[in-house]
Chain A
């Protein structure tokens, strides 16, 4: 989506113009958070499971090279063709060259946030390839020509009536029909034809196992399986951090993933792909695209533990009230706000500030990424690298001067309270963003410091003199 030069605050402001819709968005996602809580609380060892997952990922990040090379060797031995891509452009070129080789110009694709990150759809469309997203939510946003607003629930920002309109326009459903069962059936008929006729299928990868060379794709709709099983060519795209050392460790992640994402015990389909069936070609593309840079940033490397469950978005009180598109990046919400600055610090300088640092994201994260601490740290980096608003820098320097000098602070405080009391129009106006929808604090006649001087210190002196 082209959001121009608008930042998170401006896009959120626009989203909040329709308060009823914000309420609906907030409640829908809070419902998912509540389901997650229920599922987590049904597992007494939940916190130990999170710790275990976090430690497995620590091991992965510390030995990434070895695990990737082992995975490559085992996958090749299984008959999978392995490709390496340093960035999004290389990834897209590899996909295109495979399709060209096979003479394919129409493909199906199941959900893959990596391909969103690399803008694969736009790239392939420019090359004349017809791409159909087969995840229902993704298909909906694709028809609407919008990016997903959530990594697990791509069209969570759309109401069923709006989806009915889209389907009426694109799939020929009756006008005004918004019954979810009817619309889903219509989508199923529409997608079935695509599954049967497309010769190549792209899927994402949730986990890749170094010791076996297999990879796991989790979906609720079975669309990845439909695509991959019917196509002559299966291309799986994965970020290099998706590796796990051993197959047995999948049990930890599969128990955490769906519970964290939607409150389900497990995704409906957790499909293991190990080797191509006879006559099929299977490719896997291992993509860096900034991940090794992030791995080299000590404060931010463990953001690479992310298993893309979306729990941090569902719990984030800001995300629920600003919408996924306000983050103007493929991966929205708290995790997106610590991943995006690594890709482009200037373009995403606003995102680490789009948070109150409440810490709820860190608490729900199934792999224990300290998301809110990393948001704080990114703020420091962004200011130091010179991407802060110059006006803010001036204000902060003035604040530093005032607060470092007790007498300046006292005078400023007194002046501030005087203004609030006697000249309230100076601050109670449209220029003051606090005042726009909130009243100003009522200024007391005395600060605590002044009160203390007048009451306590005198008493103490008297008390000491009496003794």
Chain B
């Protein structure tokens, strides 16, 4: 199955590469636009992308709740769906980290290891594999970047403020290629938003307070949009923004990297 869209940029050396698109369950159900943007962005960059339609969830909600032993069904399904691809790409740092850290096979651990090695978060794939240096996107807005913890501290998508080490950020590197976009500076550049999976209801009070504080940092620094490489953090912050009747919107980074919005 070959389906390649070469309209915007010259093809990279991706001719023999087929990418399996892994769309986490809550993005599939609630944020299809983030998934569509991911698909279109990858196609725009000349990548052959396939979405295996029998996929569901990585199993993280159960594992993080202490029920990793119930995730074999999810693991088996994931391996069935994705082991044939050269790369697996997903617009969620958190779900990718879960696969990388916790995917195991009942019988064929070699196959699971292979899957764990070839799964990439979207901005990581664009930066490290495709080595994207330019994008044709335009998004003339002030954008606050939320550094989702699992992407940042787990997948090391960006340097962490706790460490004494040289700064870098894969998501910001890409956002800086978007015409008209201005990244706002936050007071706390990498504090957790408090979503935390089932934590968001199990520890409702602290979860909400963390979310309110994160949102207010973006608002005080003039963000019109809050973006992230993880839709789950954005879903949590969106819930708070909408309850506050704020005009500020959340938007997955794929939608911004794919945006064609002009003044």
Contacts and interface: CB of A to CB of B under 8 A. Distances in A.
Contact of B149 (A15, A357, A456): A357
Nearest to A383: B66
Given A434-B201, A448-B23, A456 B160 contact: no
B140 to A, nearest CB: 25
Interface string A351-387: 0111111111011100000000000100110111000
A356 B65 contact: no
B29 A380 contact: no
Contacts of A403: 25, 56-57, 59, 62, 73-74, 77
Chain B CB within 10 Å, residue with most, of A19, A383, A400: A400
Interface string A413-429: 10011000000000000
A340 B178 CA distance: 48
A356 B56 contact: no
A463 B59 CA distance: 35
A129 B30 CA distance: 63
A374 to B, nearest CB: 13
Interface class of chain B by DSSP: helix
Contacts of B204: 9, 13, 433-434, 436-437
A417 B240 contact: no
A416 B162 contact: no
A382 B68 CA distance: 12
A13 B205 contact: yes
Interface string A155-199: 000000000000000000000000000000000000000000000
Contacts of B153: 358-360, 362-363
B59 to A, nearest CB: 7
Interface in A391-406: 392-393, 396-397, 399-406
Nearest to B243: A439
A296 B67 CA distance: 23
A440 interface: yes
Chain A CB within 10 Å, residue with most, of B57, B205, B235: B205
A424 to B, nearest CB: 13
Nearest to B238: A441
Given A318-B203, A355-B196, A413-B28, A37 B162 contact: yes
A434 B70 contact: no
Contact of A460 (B1, B36, B211): B1
Interface in B1-52: 1, 3, 23, 25, 27-33, 35-36, 39, 51
A447 B29 contact: yes
Interface residues of A, number: 80
A404 B149 contact: no
A83 interface: no
A380 B3 CA distance: 43
Interface string B203-223: 111111111110000000000
Given A358-B153, A416-B29, A448-B36, A441 B3 contact: no
Interface string B53-76: 111110101111111111101101
Nearest to A379: B66
A363 B69 contact: no
Interface class of chain A by DSSP: helix
Contacts of A401: 73
B194 interface: yes
A399 B196 contact: no
Given A9-B203, A404-B56, A448 B62 contact: no
Interface in A5-61: 8-9, 12-13, 15-16, 19, 22, 26, 30, 37, 40-41, 43-44, 46-47
A392 B65 contact: yes
B95 to A, nearest CB: 12
Contacts of B203: 8-9, 12, 318, 353-354
Interface in B176-220: 188, 190-192, 194-197, 199-213
16 contacts: A9-B203, A12-B205, A22-B209, A355-B196, A364-B162, A396-B67, A409-B57, A434-B201, A436-B204, A438-B211, A441-B239, A444-B33, A448-B28, A448-B51, A449-B28, A451-B35
